[in-house]
């Protein structure tokens, strides 16, 4: 247990504001430019499929980066790893701003994935500070605050794109990264008091995690729960921009539905996870998300084809995800508390790897002829599989800590 944190005191555990900032910057970097994808494809002279690699490829690369971030932080500490990741993000964002080809932009975009350290380390830091049930509650509050940042990200990105062009999105990331770096330097005290003996020791710990049925249960629940969201990220720009003809700024506004539901779910998770238990929160969240995924399918089958029928029900999907994901993340880092960083990185890598595939799949199966139905079916399948993982987890052997 850490000493109480004092804001802007780097000798104590970080304030919740700093945890929100590092996690929020990671989410903002992923989604701020989504409404600009059609404009980017046109400006760079490539197809939408080609420019969509900036989303699915980014998610895939974050999976690989997380494999390293967790063990690095267990070996060298949370603070130096986070500062280094932010410096890399700043350099990569500068390259994105001035890129003139899809190849250079893609390469720089992949380097930007260093910012995923914010997601990995915010969870590990919380687990350093508090026990599992309390960690689920605190992760819920941090995620709720974090979501305020990327919730308006696509909206701001769409407005910036309309006013100044798509490159202004990466300028916004650059400015945000500099601000967060200053905050981290001044406030993020080290919480890892039991550093591992060597970097390779962390990788040797993976078999213990991978052999745990409970680790797989939490990870698969998280993978499919967030998979619905990642599929939405991959397909929604095409649905809104190409099928429905929305401008970047209007398309950006539509992303607020799923994000606002997510923040409401996070709030309730923060309030009730400690009391109800993480498995009950995962089950409730999965059922709510399933209902949310089914509603737009019903509307589409009834002939209601509009942005309202497609985007508004996503608030329910987001709400279910917000209820469930803080608990799945708390479970992942609590299977082996002494390996919280490695577990957060490995679990996050698996989750992001699945998300990358689903994002890519959603973008590939959508055409003008098929409409939005393939995307909605993928999201529905993810919700069903998330519930299956939760039910399997309830019967998985192993101590519940």
Pair of tokens at residue 293? 């995924």
What's the chain's average pLDDT? 86
Q: For residue range 155-207, list pLDDT tens digits in order.
A: 889 899 989 999 999 999 999 999 999 999 999 888 888 776 666 766 677 78
For position 398, what pLDDT does the model report?
60
Name the more confident of 204 and 95.
95
Quote the radius of gyration of the chain (alpha carbons, Å).
20
Q: What is the pLDDT of residue 185?
A: 94
Mean pLDDT of 128-156: 73
Q: What percent of the chain has pLDDT over 70?
A: 91
Q: What is the pLDDT of residue 5?
A: 67
pTM score: 0.74
Which pLDDT value is given to residue 401?
Answer: 43
> Which pLDDT band, with edges at 50, 70 and 90, does 400 fall under?
very low
Mean predicted confidence (pLDDT) in 61-80: 85
The mean pLDDT value for 257-276 works out to 85
What is the pLDDT at residue 198?
65
Contacts of residues 42-47 at CB distance under 8 Å and 24 or more positions apart, as own/partner, are: 43/165, 43/166, 44/101, 44/102, 44/105, 46/102
Q: What pLDDT is stored for residue 147 in this prediction?
A: 64
The HSE-up count of residue 94 (CA atoms within 13 Å, CB side) is 6
The whole-number pLDDT of residue 132 equals 63
Domains of the chain: 16-394 (1.20.1250.20)
With 80 as the cut, is the pLDDT of residue 148 above it? Answer: no
* Phi, psi dihedral angles at 371 (to 5 degrees): 70, -155
The answer to whether residue 345 scores a pLDDT higher than 70 is yes
For residue 68, pLDDT over 90 is answered with no
Give residue-wise pLDDT tens across range 306-340: 889 999 999 999 999 999 988 888 888 778 766 77
- CA atoms within 13 A of residue 63's CA, in its CB half-sphere: 15
Task: Give the pLDDT confidence score for residue 359 in this predicted structure.
Answer: 84
3-state SS, 44-96, equals HCCCHHHHCHHHHHHHHHHHHHHHHHHHHHHHHCHHHHHHHHHHHHHHHHHHH
Q: What is the pLDDT of residue 173?
A: 96
Which of the residue ranges 80-84, 260-264, 315-319 would you say has the lowest mean pLDDT? 260-264
Of the candidates 63, 78, 61, the residue with the CA atom closest to the CA atom of residue 22 = 78
Assigned token pair, 37? 């994808």
| 255 — pLDDT class (breaks 50, 70, 90) | confident
């Amino acid at each position: 247990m850490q000493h109480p944190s004092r804001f802007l005191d780097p000798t104590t555990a970080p304030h919740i504001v700093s945890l929100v900032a590092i996690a929020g910057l990671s989410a903002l970097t992923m989604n701020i430019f989504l409404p600009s994808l059609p404009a980017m494809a046109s400006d760079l002279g490539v197809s939408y499929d080609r420019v969509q690699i900036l989303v699915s490829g980014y998610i895939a690369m974050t999976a690989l980066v997380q494999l390293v971030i967790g063990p690095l932080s267990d070996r060298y500490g949370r603070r130096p790893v986070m500062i280094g990741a932010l410096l890399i993000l700043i350099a990569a964002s500068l390259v994105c701003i001035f890129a003139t080809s899809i190849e250079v932009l893609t390469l720089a975009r992949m380097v930007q994935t260093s910012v995923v350290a914010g997601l990995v380390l915010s969870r590990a830091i919380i687990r350093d500070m508090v026990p599992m049930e309390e960690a689920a509650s605190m992760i819920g509050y941090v995620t709720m605050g974090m979501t305020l940042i990327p919730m308006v990200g696509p909206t701001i990105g769409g407005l910036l794109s309309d006013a100044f062009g798509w490159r202004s999105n990466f300028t916004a990331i650059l400015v945000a990264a500099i601000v967060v770096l200053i905050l981290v330097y001044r406030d993020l005290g080290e919480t890892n008091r039991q550093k591992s003996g060597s970097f390779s020791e962390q990788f040797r710990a993976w078999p213990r995690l991978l052999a745990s049925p409970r680790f797989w249960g939490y990870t698969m629940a998280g993978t499919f729960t967030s998979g619905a969201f990642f599929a939405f990220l991959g397909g929604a720009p095409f649905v809104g921009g190409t099928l429905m003809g929305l401008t970047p700024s209007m398309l950006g506004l539509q992303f607020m539905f799923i994000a606002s539901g997510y923040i409401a779910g996070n709030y309730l998770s923060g309030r009730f996870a400690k009391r109800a238990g993480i498995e009950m929160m995962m089950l409730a969240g999965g059922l709510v998300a399933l209902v949310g995924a089914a509603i737009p399918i019903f509307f589409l089958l009834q002939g209601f084809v509009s942005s309202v029928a497609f985007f508004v029900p996503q608030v329910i999907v987001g709400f279910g995800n917000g209820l469930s994901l803080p608990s799945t993340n708390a479970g992942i880092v609590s299977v082996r508390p002494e390996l919280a960083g490695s577990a957060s990185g490995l679990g996050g890598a698996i989750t992001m790897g699945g998300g990358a595939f689903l994002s890519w799949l959603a973008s590939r199966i959508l055409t003008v002829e098929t409409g939005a139905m393939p995307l909605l079916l993928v999201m529905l399948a993810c919700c069903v599989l998330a519930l299956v993982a939760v039910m399997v987890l309830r019967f998985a052997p192993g101590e519940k800590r």
